[in-house]
Amino acid sequence: MQSHSEPAAGKKRVLVTGGAGFIGSHVVDLLLEHGHEVAVVDNLSTGRRENVNPRAAFFLADIGAPDVAAVFDAARPQAVVHLAAQASVTVSVSDPVRDATVNILGSVNLLQQCVRSGVEKFVYVSTGGALYGEPQYLPCDEAHPILPLSPYGVSKYTVERYLYFYRQVHGLAYTVLRLANVYGPRQDPFGEAGVVAIFTQRMLDGEQVVIYGSGEQERDFVFVEDCARAAVLALARGDGEAYNIGCGRGTTVNALFAMMKALTGYAREPRYDPPRPGDVFRSFLNADKARRELGWEPAVSLEEGLRRTIAHFRQNR
């Protein structure tokens, strides 16, 4: 266990929930790179212990359980980056109670601990893809009506409203990051995976790739390291605000398939299955506000990000 001396000026003790997961582990790496002292809390339901940087303290606990209080007492965080979640749209549609239990009650439990232990800043990783529903205009900015088509979108937005309450009543500073479709190394191709991880695994294994619906649905694909950078920037900026984190343009699933087929040398054609309930047809995000106020913009192109993702999967087969 790390000692908890005071970090250097400008550096903080940061607790990352879900820090053994896909996005969370990249956030941990970047926080450590920037000199912060990092602790991770994860129940390893979808996260993997080997994803956790060895320089971070690790606590095996569930954010919804009473024993998370002991984590706060041991780590004494000045800031929390909250990524632990039930993150599957499909699971949320089939089991909305589980989704709400993890995403809403688990988050409120964390917020109570933040108030109790004097946390200064709460960075909440929300969703852009599932929050706005079927867009009324594109790209969606933060003023777009919130009309989620899945319990997952509902639960993530509910916590945004709780954050407003905790800031007004308890003075807890917060920033919300509404992420587009995140992809990159360490994404689990078997769990609540994104399409890039699933396609990569199946293409490298020579298995059938399945596209749900026509394949003309559009997504805003943003590289995981770009998202981690947004979380680190949000520690010091954007209090009380929500920010879209995306690339501002849509890529069809068919176009994604073609790019990945070329990069992997995959020989087969996709199979088309019926669309899945709860999935939005077209969604991409306007991230101008993040550019202006957080100093964030995407740095990794889709082709470069896909190359790096595929290389990671090849190495770790």
Q: What amino acid positions are annotated as catalytic residues?
A: 152
Return the SS3 of 285. strand
Nearest to 17 by CA among 6, 9, 5, 25: 25
Beta strands in 173-240 (DSSP E): 173-179, 181-183, 210-212, 218-219, 221-223
C-alpha 116 chain-centroid distance:
26
CA dihedral 219, 222, 223, 224 (to 10 degrees): -100
Rounded Cα distance, 268 and 246, in Å: 30
Rounded Cα distance, 274 and 180, in Å: 23
C-alpha 202 chain-centroid distance:
23
Nearest to 94 by CA among 134, 37, 152: 152
Distance, first Cα to last Cα, the chain: 31
38, 16 Cβ separation under 8 angstroms: yes
Nearest to 23 by CA among 57, 49, 59, 51: 51
Contacts 24+ apart (CB under 8 A), 188-193: 188/22, 188/46, 188/48, 189/313, 191/46, 191/88, 192/46, 192/86, 192/87, 192/88, 192/90, 192/91
Burial class (CB in 10 A: 0-12, 13-18, 19+), 160: middle
